[in-house]
Amino acid sequence: MNEPPVVPTQDLEGSSELVQVEQEPIYVRLFEKTKKHKNKDGTACWEPIAEKNYEELKKLHETQIQEHGEDTLNVKDAYIKALKRKSGYVRGLGPGARPPKKGKTGENNERLSTQVDTLAASNEELRVSNEQLKASNEELKASNEEFKASNEELRAEFSKLNKDAIEREKKMREDMLKLFQDMRNNES
């Protein structure tokens, strides 16, 4: 990640053979660039406490090389490890860089991991429930279509029966009227 670049340089005698020189990692170079200044007489001087912190960063780099074979730290992680935390920000990076909360990251990670697992299980349950509701909805739609078709058949049957009843009633009235007329005619 943050492996220091290897810069080719020529050896001192001017031969064409190249010698590999390893540069310090970016976090060491950045710290030196921002905390080391030149006096008016041209001599280099450090800001207060900066030289001690610079040495801590160099030790951290050496430790990373010894333990991992390479230095994979980024600037923020290196500053947090070497310069320790200060209330509200990471030393060397100003107030914008916030360190993780002290001592609670493991607990927070475990709690968040548990919450993620719970939410994932809940999400799966909701997905299954949603699928069941979709299937049930499709069954209800089919049942509703059958009901509509049946309702239309019943309306048609009722309309036919009503029409037949009206015709029978009309025929009965005509027959009764005819019967009454015949009875009157027979009386006269």
CB-based burial label for 15 (10 Å; 0-12, 13-18, 19+): exposed
Q: Tell whether 111 is covered by a domain.
A: yes
Task: Look at the chain and report how many structural domains it folds into.
Answer: 2
Instruction: Please indicate, yes or no, whether residues 84 and 155 belong to a single structural domain of this protein.
Output: no
Instruction: Please indicate, yes or no, whether residues 52 and 104 belong to a single structural domain of this protein.
Output: no
Instruction: Please indicate, yes or no, whether residues 62 and 88 belong to a single structural domain of this protein.
Output: yes
Spell 36-46 as b/e; 16+ CB within 10 A means b: eeeeeeeeeee
Residue 67 structural domain: 6-99
Give tens-digit pLDDT for 103-120: 555 667 778 888 888 898
Give tens-digit pLDDT for 114-157: 888 889 889 999 999 999 999 999 999 999 999 999 999 999 99
Number of other residues whose CB lies within 10 A of the CB of residue 61: 20
Report yes or no on whether pTM surpasses 0.85: no
Q: Which of 34, 53, 33, 36 is nearest to 45 (CA)?
A: 36
Q: Tell whether 23 is covered by a domain.
A: yes
Instruction: Please indicate, yes or no, whether residues 52 and 123 belong to a single structural domain of this protein.
Output: no
